Every structure is written in C-alpha cells, then in structure tokens.
Amino acid sequence: MRQKIALAVHGGAGTIVKSTMTAALEEAYKSALKEALQKGHAILKDGGSALDAVEIAVRVLEDCPLYNAGKGAVFTADGRNELDASIMNGKDLSAGAIAEVTNIKNPVSAARAVMEKSGHIFLVGRGAEEFARLYGLETAEPDYFFTEERWMALQRVRDEDPTKTELDHGSGKSTLKKLKEEKFGTVGAVALDVRGNMAAATSTGGMTNKKWGRVGDSSIIGAGTYANDLCAISCTGWGEYFIRLCIAKSVADLMEYKGYTLAKATHEMILKKLPELGGDGGLIAVDKAGNIAMPFSTEGMYRGFVKSNGKVVVDIYRK
Amino acid sequence: MRQKIALAVHGGAGTIVKSTMTAALEEAYKSALKEALQKGHAILKDGGSALDAVEIAVRVLEDCPLYNAGKGAVFTADGRNELDASIMNGKDLSAGAIAEVTNIKNPVSAARAVMEKSGHIFLVGRGAEEFARLYGLETAEPDYFFTEERWMALQRVRDEDPTKTELDHGSGKSTLKKLKEEKFGTVGAVALDVRGNMAAATSTGGMTNKKWGRVGDSSIIGAGTYANDLCAISCTGWGEYFIRLCIAKSVADLMEYKGYTLAKATHEMILKKLPELGGDGGLIAVDKAGNIAMPFSTEGMYRGFVKSNGKVVVDIYRK
C-alpha cells in the first residue's frame, strides 16, 4: 500500500465574522487556500518532499494580497512591512528562520535558504537581507508589499488607539487590548510525504501598528513552527502567548513524553493552556499517520487540507 | 521552616582547558562568578524575587570583560558587538528578550524592560534600541564593549577561516567546523526565591565572526531560556542545536509530562539528545525544591551555585 500523504494550510486565525464578509471575498480567500493545497499536493503526490510541499504552499499564500504575509503584509507603526518566516524539516530537525526583513518577496524561501546554506538557523534585519541577496533570493521593492486594505488598517488603528503617536510609559496593557481585537493574519503549512517525513512552515507580516522591531512567534522555532518525526505544527495567533508556552514544541512533547494523540495534544495547547494564560489563536498539525488537527480558539481560522485522495477541503468559520 | 532559596550562574561552556589557563586568569573568572552569586544571594536571602536575583547576577557577568556578554562581547564578522539577552519569570510565564542590539550596557535589563513595559516579548535591532532609549535603559558607546582579547579572537578566526572574506556558496559546513572549536561564551542565571518562584536569564555576544544578523538561542524563549512553576533553565552552547531541540522548554516538558527529576531531564537533553544531534554545550537549572543541575558536554563550563546556607561554590572544569 502506498504511504499516506497529507497537507494542511492556514491563513490566520482571529475575529473573522461571516456578517462582515461578502461572498466574493470569501471565495477569494478560499481560492488562495485551494491553490496552495493543490500545488503542495501535486508535489506530495509525485513523491516530492514535505519540505518542498510546505514551501510552495506558503509561497502561494505569501503571493496572495489577502493574507498577512509577503504581499499584503500589515504595516508597522512607522508604515513599513517587516516580514518574519520560518521552516523546519522534521526528518533531521534542520530549521531556518528570518525576521524583520523588508525586501524579500517570499520570506519562506529565504528561511529555507538560511536552513540550507547559512550554517545558522535564525537571521534578522539587514543582515538577513544581505544574506538573501548574496544567495540570490528574489527581492521586491517596498511598493510590492503595499495593499490599500492594510494601509487603511494602519490608519484605523492609529485613529482608534490613543497610544498611537507617543509612548506613555506603561501603556502596554491598553495596546494589547486593542491588538487582541485585531485579526491575526499569518500563513502556514504542514505536510507528510510518501517517505513518512514531515515539515512545517510559517510566514507573517506580524501585527498592524507593531513597534520597536517586535518579532512574534512565526519565526521562532518551537513557538510558531516545529517539526520532528512525530508531527509538524504551524501556529497563528497572539504571538506573545505562543512564545511563552512554546506552543509548537509543546504539542510535539505532549505526544512524545505523554503519549497524547495529535488531536489531544493540539486541543490541550490551543483550547486549554493558551486561553488559560489569556491568549488566543490556532494551529494546523499533521502526524506520521496522516492525521490532521486544526484547532482554534478564535471565531474563525482560514484553513484547509488535502490527503491522499486529493480532495481539497477549505473552511473559514467555526463549525 | 524557612523556604529554600537557590541560585546558579554560568559563564559559558566550551573548550576550556586547564593547560591553557593561568592561575591568575582562573581566579579572575571565578571571582566574577562569586560576585554574581553573592549579589544574587543577598537579594534572595532578604526575601527578594528570583527575577531580581537572576537579573543582578547576569548584570555582574555582563559587566565583567572576561565573559562574552555585555562588556567583553565577541565581535561579529564586520567588527561590531551585537548583543542578545532574555529573561523569564516562572511565576506567570512572563518573558522578555532582545537581539542584535549594539549600544545597551546591560542587555538583560533591557530584556526585563521589554517584558514589563513593551506589551511584547521579543524586540530586535534598531527598534529594540529605540525602545531601550525611550524607557531609560543605560546606553554605552561601541568603545565600551571593546576588549583587546575579543578583537584578537576575531582576527584569529579571520586568519584561520578561509570563508572569512567572501561567501563561497555552500561554505556552511566548514564554517561550522571552525565555530565548533570556538569557546561558547554566554552568561546566565537561574534562581528559586523564598516564595517558591523561579526565574531564568541569559545574555550573550554570540559567536566570534558571526554574520548576517545571526541570532542564537540565548534570546529565544524555550531554546536558551525558560522558567515555569517546575523549573528554571539557562543554556550555553552551540546555539543552533539548542534552537532545533528547544532545549530549555524540553527540560521543563520532560519534568511535566514524563515525571523526570531535574537531574534526569537535564541529563537527557544535554548528555543524550544534544550530542546525538551533533551539538554540544551545557545548562544550569533549578527546581522548586532547590535542586540544582549543571550538566555540560564540553570540556568545561564556568559555573557556580549558592543555596540557603550561603556557601558559594564555583568551578570551571569537568570533575
């Protein structure tokens, strides 16, 4: 019997309410998820690696202006797009990540280049951009990342948020309250290939109006992304909470050290430990048997999956 | 009976060989460890928090030019000092971290400010420096961090390493070989206070000749630093391997999910999983009962501890 294959993608979790969505927009969101799943599935079906599948799937979502990663990334407080991404190969625990880059068209591919060519795992800022340039990653002008919708979102946050122009010391809490209401846009993919290997990748533009070179969980191995020989995980949500709980690695550890199933381990982290601490969000995960879990504690999560039979399933809201 | 207190510190693990050390230098290294332990212990003895104790202990080691953190940090490939640090409070899982900062005198205190005042966890580069300036952290001119010994170390690596001036694509492996032979200097502290709370902090200048904005495990919550209600951990070693294994969080998870003791959990990660993957290094850890573990897989690790009785013990080599 042929070994199972599986692929799941997400496009962010958050306050996604059907009443504020048009049918056309919903279709556009779903269409990008489908394309990501189809391209990744084509690779897996042909015997390609989980690593190649998650990279291509995330690239599709990075290229789609609707999602907060690559083109369509949200704006920082000073009106720029700063991109974070990571990728991990469960086969050998190799990993790569970049943060705070502003001119790389597909951050996930830069993360993969870091993994394969830098001798390091995590490169940030101008240094990461220099690395990407030296290794021939495709760059993009700041204009490329601009979308009217994200720019207006920044103006809206600035208008609504009294902390927008100055830093009143100790304003952390009120800022966080606002941020919590924002949609968490991040994209990610997890895959299982015919050889039984798994991989995960995550890419994001972070939070609208983020300040001071803030880096969330998406580029942190163990927090937003993890893959080993038991499972592969990509997270989306309020990044600070995912970092504090090391959500992705904790799922793997619950399986390895406590014998939990993928469903139970992901439920424990996203629907118990995360809300208990005050955070929210979701994740996608796959295990060696091809099981997929996609729990989220928010109102919605752009998500989808495809397994060996090739049937693509995508969804947005809570069931 | 009075609740136990405990504090451990490290000043890096690596190829520390007695034959290349003078008695005077050995004494200087030990003297800084003792001062860090004494200052931290004074706080704990007076009922102060584990968080205050680890911050002050790390500050002492940051201020000592012998250790690769704060003053005395190693130089990057382009001759700068880029500093990373993190801190975590096990009491409430709050955490803060900075990376790639060049002008903050005590990076561990900046990490604490991020934790307490930014609403975020991880700030990098110029943004992190701007945050630190706004919140009144003490800055230092690049000259402050300069030490003759570290500068010569950079020249030595440049001379020995054929990859020094240009990037021959795919040179990752040979660079890593060289890096492995370098001493891993990083400082850190873990503490248990009278209320039974634990905290951990880590600070580093990274690797000599590091390129492209490389960030290691020291500023990554879950990799180089972690603290919860079971234990507190600070790591030192070949950072990329600590990231891939999420060493610090894995120790906590082995205790929580598998019921391991602190000694068994730290042994498992540092003396089994880390060398199996090809990495090396060490860590310091404390648990709720005041047990301390300080395993390392290298030839030496600058380390020390003090418990309720106030007796300060420091050591460098393998027993």
In the sheet with B6-14, reading across from the earlier edge strand, the strands are A214-215, B122-124, B94-101, B83-89, B198-204, B187-192, B6-14, B300-307, B312-317
Between positions 3 and 62 of B, the ones with CB within 8 A of A are: none
CA–CA gap between residue B61 and residue B284 (Å, rounded): 15
CA gap B310, B316 in Å, rounded: 20
Burial of B105 (0-12, 13-18, 19+ CB in 10 A): buried
Looking at residue B276, its pLDDT comes to: 97
Reported confidence tier of residue B143, pLDDT bands at 50, 70, 90:
confident
pLDDT in tens, B84-121: 999 999 999 999 999 999 999 999 999 999 999 999 99
Distance (Å) of CA B165 to CA B140, B168, B211: 29, 9, 11
B125 closest CA partner among B151, B145, B98, B155? B98
CB A51 within 8 A of CB A89: yes
What is the reported pLDDT for A72? Answer: 87
| A145 interfaces chain B, CB cutoff of 8 Å | no
Task: Provide the pLDDT for residue A161.
Answer: 62
Q: How far is B309 from chain A (nearest CA, A)?
A: 33
Contacts of A175 in chain B (CB under 8 A): 119
Per-residue pLDDT of chain A (319 residues; tens, 9 = 90+): 468 999 999 999 987 778 878 899 999 999 999 999 999 999 999 999 999 999 999 999 999 999 999 998 888 888 888 899 999 999 999 999 999 999 999 999 999 999 999 999 999 999 999 999 999 999 998 889 888 888 888 888 778 764 543 222 233 344 444 444 455 679 999 999 999 999 999 999 887 888 899 999 999 999 999 999 999 999 999 999 999 999 999 999 999 999 999 999 999 999 999 999 999 999 999 999 999 999 999 999 999 999 999 999 999 998 7
Contact B226 A246 (CB under 8 A): yes
Which of B214, B229, B245, B261 would best serve as a mutation to test chain A binding (most A beta carbons within 10 A)?
A: B214
Closest CB to A214 among B123, B216, B221: B123
For B210, other C-beta atoms within 10 Å of its C-beta total 26
Instruction: Please tell me which residue, B138 or B166, carries the higher pLDDT value.
Output: B138
| Domain B6-167+174-317 = CATH 3.60.20.30 | yes
- Residue to mutate among A114, A120, A211, A221, with most B CBs inside 10 A, is A120
Do residues B307 and B5 touch, judged by C-beta distance below 8 A?
yes
HSE-CB at A143 with a 13 A cutoff on CA atoms is 1
Collect contacts of B143-147 with beta carbons under 8 A, ≥24 apart: B144/B71, B144/B105, B145/B70, B145/B71, B145/B72, B145/B73, B145/B81, B145/B83, B145/B205, B146/B81, B147/B65, B147/B71, B147/B72
pLDDT at B54: 98
A199 membership: H or E segment, kind and range: strand A198-204
Whether B183 has a pLDDT exceeding 70, the answer reads no
- Work out the pLDDT band at B149, boundaries 50, 70, 90: confident
Q: What is residue A184's predicted lDDT score, i.e. its pLDDT?
A: 66
* Options B76, B102, B175, B186, the catalytic residue: B186
User: Are B140 and B105 within 8 A, CB to CB?
Assistant: yes
Overall average pLDDT of the B245-267 stretch: 98
The one-letter code for the residue type at B38 is: Q
**How far from B157 is each of A103, B21, B71, CA to CA, in Å?**
31, 20, 20
Asked whether the beta carbons of residue A244 and residue B95 sit closer than 8 angstroms, the reply is yes
Residues 6+ apart with CB under 8 A from B224: B86, B186, B188, B202, B216, B217, B218, B234, B235, B236, B239, B242, B247, B248
- Interface contact B222-A249, CB threshold 8 A: yes
* Cβ atoms B11, B185 nearer than 8 A: yes
Binned at pLDDT 50, 70 and 90, residue B27 comes out as: very high
Q: Closest Cα to residue A271, out of A13, A86, A85?
A: A13
pLDDT of residue A127: 94
| pLDDT at residue B69 is higher than 80 | yes
- Any catalytic annotation for residue B22? no
Q: Which of A147, A163, A175, A186 is catalytic?
A: A186
Q: Is B261 on the interface with A (CB under 8 A)?
A: no
Q: How many degrees, rounded to 5, is the angle at CA B177 between CA B172 and CA B180?
A: 120
Per residue in B277-315, pLDDT (tens digit) is 999 999 999 999 999 999 999 999 999 999 999 999 999
Tokens coding B54: 């680890």
Could you write out the DSSP letters of every residue in A22-78?
-HHHHHHHHHHHHHHHHHHHHHHHTT--HHHHHHHHHHHHHHSTTSSSSTTPPPPTT
Instruction: Tell me the β-bridge partners of A83.
Output: A101
| DSSP code, position B79 | S
Query: pTM for this one?
Result: 0.93
Tell me the C-alpha distance between A283 and A294, whole Å. Answer: 6
Q: Is B173 on the interface with A (CB under 8 A)?
A: yes
Q: Any idea how long chain A is?
A: 319
- Residue closest to A100 by CA, chosen among B202, B224, B119, B128: B128
Identify the band that residue B35 occupies on the pLDDT scale cut at 50, 70 and 90.
Answer: very high
Name the nearest CA neighbour of B119 among A153, A163, A250.
Answer: A163
Residues in CB range of A30: below 8 A, 6 or more apart: A304, A314, A316
Q: How far is A178 from chain B (nearest CA, A)?
A: 11
**Distance between CA atoms of A226 and A237, rounded to whole angstroms?**
15
* Residues with Cβ within 8 Å of residue A217, at least 6 apart in sequence: A223, A224, A235, A237, A239, A240, A242, A243, A247
Local confidence band at B172 (pLDDT 50, 70, 90 cut-offs): very low
- Cα separation of B142 and A244, whole Å? 32
Length of chain B: 319
Alpha carbon A94 to its chain centroid, in Å, reads 18
Bridge-based pairing of strands A214-215 and A94-101 is unpaired
pLDDT per residue over B185-217, tens digit each?
799 999 999 999 999 999 998 878 888 999 999
- pLDDT beyond 80 at B1: no
Q: Among A304, A87, A302, A41, which Cα is nearest to A192's?
A: A41
